Every structure is written in structure tokens, then in C-alpha cells.
Structure 1
Amino acid sequence: MFKILGLIVGVLLLLIVLGGGLFVYKVKNGFPVSYETDPADISIPQEGIKVLLFSKTTGFRHGESIQAAKEVFGRISTEKGWFLYNTESAGVFNSEQLNQFNVVIFNNSTGRVLTDEQRLVLQEYVENGGKLIGIHGAGDDSHHWDWYETHLLGAKFSHHPLNPQLQEAQVSLQPGIDSVLSRDLAKEWVHTDEWYVFFEDPASRGFQILYSIDGDKILPSGNLLFIKSKEFGMGKNHPVAWFKKTGKGKTFYTSMGHNATAWGEEAFIQMLINAIEW
């Protein structure tokens, strides 16, 4: 009986270890998927602001936040008369179609979601005048794309807090921001999120910080069981939204947006409206 119980416990422990390993691998790399390469079946108008909302994931999926974002961007586009193409298919990442959009939004998109050719198309799109916005999971370390990390993120992702994972912090607007980006923005608001920790301050790589929190007022440790190397944070000046010009184009990233609740906050939504219009 004891041998049987021992065998059962051993099998269960092995399954737990394997399951945990697969989860970590997915978070870090995404699971292999097929890539959509056929152009999108879409009619894009010539006039007005045209927004591509891209929500494909192969890594961790922030399902509730992704869905909430789709609904909010849908409402905003209707109110402002924008054309919104909401998709999780990468087929639209071809030069002919992508160049018709004013802005591309990576809506919590994680993992490898584009082919090498599609990545090059997006890179050329931005450098020739296109705009790219990334939200939360679009900044984790599952993308493995040097150009993307350099020109959208400006920093390498390290971890997020685990105990507790979600924490409340005061988000503060930085002075001297471009008038389009700062228009009608809240100077401060209290927000709960999964605060990403990066190895570098993106300001050191030429990005301008829009919003930050006091990193000394959160518990930043990302230590997990026997992994004890994630005790650090970003210090008092902890950026949570930043931007820069890249070639003829522009990039904007915010590490906020883990939870669907963010999409009920007017300050958060206004920040992204300004980023699109900028």
C-alpha cells in the first residue's frame, strides 16, 4: 500500500513539475503556432484615422483585459469616427495593407506572433512614419525581437511582483510632455496593476517618460520558490508609460493594463486616446 501511495505521490509531483515547466516556457517563449500569411479580407477607407488593434497571443494571455480593450476601442472609434480593424490574425502585416493604417496597437500581445518577414514589414512601417503602441503584456520577455525591444520598449523586462501580484500605486504625470500627449491627462491617479520591473530605465535609451510611480512604495519582489534572483525593483522613479520618435515614426508603450478594470478608468483610457492621436 505504501509503495502504491508513494508511486501516486511521485507521479503527481512529476505532473506538477512538468505543468509548471510548460507554463514557464509558455510565458517566456510562447507556444509554437501557425502563422497567418494570407492578406486580410478587409476594405480600408482612405480618409480618417485608421487603427489596427492586434490581440494575438502565443504566450500568457490576458484574456479579460484583451476583451475589455476591444470593447473600449470599439466604443471610442465609433464616437470619434475612426476606422478600427480588430484582429488576431497576422495576415494584415503586409506592406500594402499595413501602410494604410495610422497606428498599430499590440493589445497585450505576447509571444512570437509574426513571421520574420512580417516583423520586417512592421519595422519598415514604423521607420517610414507609422506608429506603434504596446500595452502591458506587449512588453514582457516573450517576444525575442531586438528591434522591438530597442524601439518600442527601450528596456528589457525582468519580472513582476508576486507577493502581492497586484498592488495599488499613485500614477504621476511627468512635466514637460508634448501637448498632444498631455492634453486632458490626469496629473495623478490611484491605479492597481501588475507593475512590470525592467532592467533599465527607458529614459536612458532616449525615451521620454509620460507616467511613473514611486517604486519604493510597492513590493517589487518576483522571487518564486527556489528562484531567489528577483528581489529588486526600479527604485523611486519607476516608469509606467513612455514614448519616442523612431525614424519618421513614433512608438508608445505602457506597462499598465494587466486587469480588465484598467479599461474602466478614464485616466488610463484618455492616455491611450492621446497616444493614438499623437
Structure 2
Amino acid sequence: MDGRLKSTKASRNILLIIMENSGYWASILKIFKSKLMNKNHLTNKAFIYAIVFISFIGGACSQSMPEVELNDEWKNKIYELAPEEATYPFKEKKKVLVFSLHTGFWHWVNPHTEAMFKILGEKSEAFEVSSSTDIAMMEKDKLKEFDLVIFNNTNSKPTYRNLFVDKLSEDESMDSVSVWKKAEELEKNVLNYVKKGGGFFVIHGGNTTFNNSMAFSELIGGSFDYHPKQQPIHVRLVDHKHPLVQAFPADGFVHTDEPYFYKNAYDALDFKPLLYFNNSEIEAQRKGQELTEGVTYVAWIRKEGKGKVLYCAASHNAQSFENPDLLQFYLDGMQYLVGDVKVDETPIGK
């Protein structure tokens, strides 16, 4: 056999092994496998072209995912992928508010996340979901209308890391003292809403809402510290027997997202973790803070007074919602938050 052919075949086989053992390359593999396995394409030039193309795609995907248009076609796709019914029995339809106000970083996925939660509620018939960006919805009388409040990427500006201060500061009739006083009042409304029995679901960047508030950090289980570049993340299950992760296969799933790292209350681990990633698998970590051992949690639950909290870092991208297992996880989590199912909430830090 020609030496060049042997070399190309060996390189081809190594490439296939790498691709087949990485969920990230699954879709790329479908495109190239037939070409690479075809003897007519066993040339150095074809192999090099394949490597260049794959490297280009991989590099692009590791940085960010392309924005997806929010249209009827996308909504219909998510509707078809969503669970046919709620996992747990429920006596009545619960009211949910998806709060999507932001003053800081704008996540293009925000409207998709709203639409996704509305689809879950509609198809399961377990939830009546409405959405708002009006800060007035954080008043006591408004919050008590809902069984569950979802903070959907409610990112604040870096200046104060306080969403309510940012928004209230836009009112020229309020001085700084009045702004901070009102912001503190509204934050306390959220804290008390949960303590008195409300459900609270924080998605992705929603943990930056009051990133310098220890009270809020303790409520949700941690504050945002930083994230490396977007990259394929192998999300694993902490306990595959836990009721809230039954949607996922035992070995978890892979999706492209921002791997979040946390600070403040996170260090106390005052929560029950559900999902995690291995720190050693995360690329481009902040210099001086590289973690080569241990794990970082992606989703967790905790009890606060009479209420319940669920934090989930997924996702920065609407493409993640095309995973029916993740949709099932969200729906099961919503049912947990409104009391349709009781699960182990024992914090691992205590």
C-alpha cells in the first residue's frame, strides 16, 4: 500500500475516533464520515480540506452560537419538542411571571426564553405564563398574584450591579437617596415573596440582578463571578436518581454555552446541586483562578423559608432549547417550585 495512503488512513481514523467521542462533533461527523470513509476521497488534499473546515467550524462555535430568529417556525419546533404533559399531578393551573427586564448585557435569547416557558405552560396545561419588563411588577401586591416568578437574564449594569437602581435612576424626578431606598424596598419584596412561599426560578445571567447583594446571593445560592468563552460543555448529573433530573440520560448531555463560575454565597454550598461540569474540561479560565480539579455546579435547588428556589445556568443560546430533555427539566423544575412534587433539598454544605 502506498505510504501516503497509509498515513492518510491512519490520520483519518484518529480524526474519526476524536469526533465520535465528542458530542460536540456529532453533527459535523455526519457530514464528513461518508466522505472520509470513501476510498475515492483518501487523498491528503481532501483530508487537509476536512481538517481546515472542521477547525473553522469548531473555532466559530467555541466563541458563540448564531442568533436564531424568533418566529412561528421556531415556536412550532419547540412546541413539538416540549413534553406532552406535566410529569407530576397538579390540582390547578399555577400562575407564572417571566420577568425579563435588563439594564446590562442583552441576551438575544431573552425573548426565546419567554416563548419557551409560555409553550411549556400551554402544552402541559399546568401553568398560565405571562411576561413583563415593568419594574412595578416587583411591588408586593403584584408579586403575590403569582405562584412562581422567573428572572430571565435580568442582567444589571456593571456600575452598581443592581437592576433596580439602574432602572429607577432613569426617573429624573428621583434623587439618588430615593432611588436606593426604593431599590432596597423592591429587592426585599422579592426576598419576602420567596420566604412566604413563592417559587423563584433564576435563569443564566439572572444571578447578576443584585450581584453585590449578599442577601440575594444567599437567596439564590451564589453570585456571578465570571465566565470563559462559549464552548461545548459536558453537563453531568450529580445524582441520577434525583426526581428532577430524570429527563436526562445517566451520562448527562453536551451543549454549547458559557460555563459560569460563582462567588459570594456559592462558597457555602447551601443548596442541593443537580447538574455540574468538571473544571478540568473548561477552556480559557481566568488567569490566576484556573481550576484543574473538582466541579462547578450548573443547576441547584434550595429551600428559603416557605418558598423554593431553582437556579440554572443554561442557557445563553436558544439552540439549547431544542434539547427535549432540557425542556422536560425546566418543566419538572417549575412543578417543584410550585409544590407539585416534594424532593430532597438537603444542602451539601451543611
Decide: shared fold, TM above 0.5. Answer: yes
Q: Structure 1 residues 130 and 234 mapped into 2: Cα distance closer, same or farther (>3 Å)?
A: farther
CA deviations over 1:115-162 (Å, ceiling 9, x no partner) = 22211111111001111111111124763322111110x23332111x
Contact map agreement 2:276 2:299 (CA 8 A) in 1: yes
Q: CA RMSD in A?
A: 2.3
What is the TM-score with the length of structure 2 in the denominator?
0.58
> Which residue identity lines up with residue 293 of structure 2 in the other structure?
G
Partner of 1:14: none
Classify the secondary structure of the residue corresponding to 1:233. coil
Partner of 1:264: 322
Partner Cα distance (1:58, 1:252) in 2: 23
Q: Number of matched residues?
A: 221
1:250 corresponds, among 294, 301, 308, to: 308
Matched, 1:184 2:228: no
> Which residue identity lines up with residue 335 of structure 2 in the other structure?
E
Partner of 1:106: 151
Partner Cα distance (1:201, 1:171) in 2: 22
What is the TM-score with the length of structure 1 in the denominator?
0.73
Contact map agreement 1:262 1:268 (CA 8 A) in 2: yes
Matched, 1:157 2:207: no
Contact map agreement 2:247 2:326 (CA 8 A) in 1: no
Runs of 5+ unmatched residues, structure 1? 1-46, 224-228
CA shift, 1:177, in A, is: 6.0
Q: Structure 1 residues 150 and 250 mapped into 2: Cα distance closer, same or farther (>3 Å)?
A: same
Q: Which of structures 1 and 2 has the bigger CA Rg?
A: 2
The 10-residue stretch of structure 1 (65-74 or 232-241) with the greater mean CA deviation from structure 2? 232-241
Identity of aligned residues (%): 25
2:239 corresponds, among 167, 175, 186, to: 175
Contact map agreement 2:310 2:333 (CA 8 A) in 1: yes
1:80 corresponds, among 124, 132, 138, to: 124
Partner of 2:230: 166
> Which residue identity lines up with residue 250 of structure 1 in the other structure?
K
2:199 corresponds, among 110, 126, 131, to: 131
The 10-residue stretch of structure 1 (111-120 or 65-74) with the greater mean CA deviation from structure 2? 111-120
Classify the secondary structure of the residue corresponding to 1:91. helix
> Which residue identity lines up with residue 120 of structure 1 in the other structure?
K
Classify the secondary structure of the residue corresponding to 2:255. strand
2:278 corresponds, among 203, 207, 214, to: 214
Partner Cα distance (1:123, 1:248) in 2: 11
> Which residue identity lines up with residue 133 of structure 2 in the other structure?
E
CA deviations over 1:158-212 (Å, ceiling 9, x no partner) = 2111xxx111121111117652x23434431111111011247847332111001
Q: Structure 1 residues 195 and 94 mapped into 2: Cα distance closer, same or farther (>3 Å)?
A: same
Partner Cα distance (1:239, 1:110) in 2: 20
Partner of 2:114: 70
> Which residue identity lines up with residue 225 of structure 2 in the other structure?
S
Classify the secondary structure of the residue corresponding to 2:163. coil
Contact map agreement 2:279 2:293 (CA 8 A) in 1: yes
Q: Structure 1 residues 118 and 177 mapped into 2: Cα distance closer, same or farther (>3 Å)?
A: farther
Partner Cα distance (1:234, 1:150) in 2: 26
Partner Cα distance (2:290, 2:210) in 1: 20
Contact map agreement 1:141 1:157 (CA 8 A) in 2: no
CA shift, 1:51, in A, is: 0.6
Partner Cα distance (1:142, 1:259) in 2: 23
> Which residue identity lines up with residue 251 of structure 1 in the other structure?
V
